[in-house]
Chains A and B, each alone.
Chain A
Amino acid sequence: MNIFRLCGDMSHLAAIIILLLKMWKTRSVAGISGKSQILFATVFTARYLDLFTSFISIYNTCMKVFFIGTVYFTIYLIYMKFKATYDSNHDSFRVEFLIVPVGGLAFLVNHEFAPLEIIWTFSIYLESVAILPQLFMISKTGEAETITSHYLFALGSYRALYLCNWIYRYYAEGFFDLIAVVAGVVQTILYCDFFYLYITKVMKGKKISLPA
């Protein structure tokens, strides 16, 4: 563990808590993409299959349980409890255009042609594009609530911090995983446009409103 990875995990944790607070306080899931949350649930389920088989640390296990538990609770809030506020018309990204290519790529490019390794690779590739339905929804509605912007900023920062973690681990431990790094770079790049809007607007107290 290093400071970059710890900050990354905390940023990820903060994003999930911000999202849950937004939903619970406003009792609304307006502006939130249910499809992205379903993709995140797939990512966590595929990545944490070893939750019960391999023990890394208390921290690792607690975080995995928390991430899996909260993402399914978020899906419950979107599609059941606050279903009336779910904007399905604007949440229209075709996720099959993500899952099929990512699934194929995981078969072709991986470290080892073994079931658990391919599933893990699939979760890494899927996570890098899982936010697209959410960003697509914001571009369609033309705006994002400020609290949703904070959620996205924390979520985008998490993988950017992981990139720093991999740089650190490369020099400190000689550790390097090309698949995780490339997917992490793609994932962070997808947020750049949003980061720009967040820093130039939200930090000045304005709302994010894209030219619709």
Chain B
Amino acid sequence: DPAELVKDEL
């Protein structure tokens, strides 16, 4: 699920 991944970016 892309939503989970992107949260490691600022």
Contacts and interface: CB of A to CB of B under 8 A. Distances in A.
A175 interface: yes
B10 A175 contact: no
Contact of A117 (B3, B5, B9): B3
Interface residues of B, number: 9
User: What's the dominant secondary structure at chain B's contact region?
Assistant: loop
B6 A180 contact: yes
A56 B8 contact: yes
A60 B6 contact: no
B2 A67 contact: no
Contact of A12 (B3, B5, B10): B10
Contacts, number: 31
A120 B7 contact: yes
Contacts of A50: 7
Nearest to A112: B3
B3 to A, nearest CB: 4
A176 B1 CA distance: 10
A122 to B, nearest CB: 14
Contacts of B5: 175, 177
Nearest to A165: B9
A205 to B, nearest CB: 33
B3 A111 contact: yes
A5 interface: yes
Interface of A: 5, 9, 12, 50, 54, 56, 60, 63-64, 67, 111-112, 117, 120, 162, 165, 175-178, 180
15 contacts: A50-B7, A54-B7, A60-B8, A60-B10, A63-B10, A67-B10, A111-B1, A112-B3, A175-B5, A175-B6, A177-B2, A177-B3, A177-B6, A180-B6, A180-B9
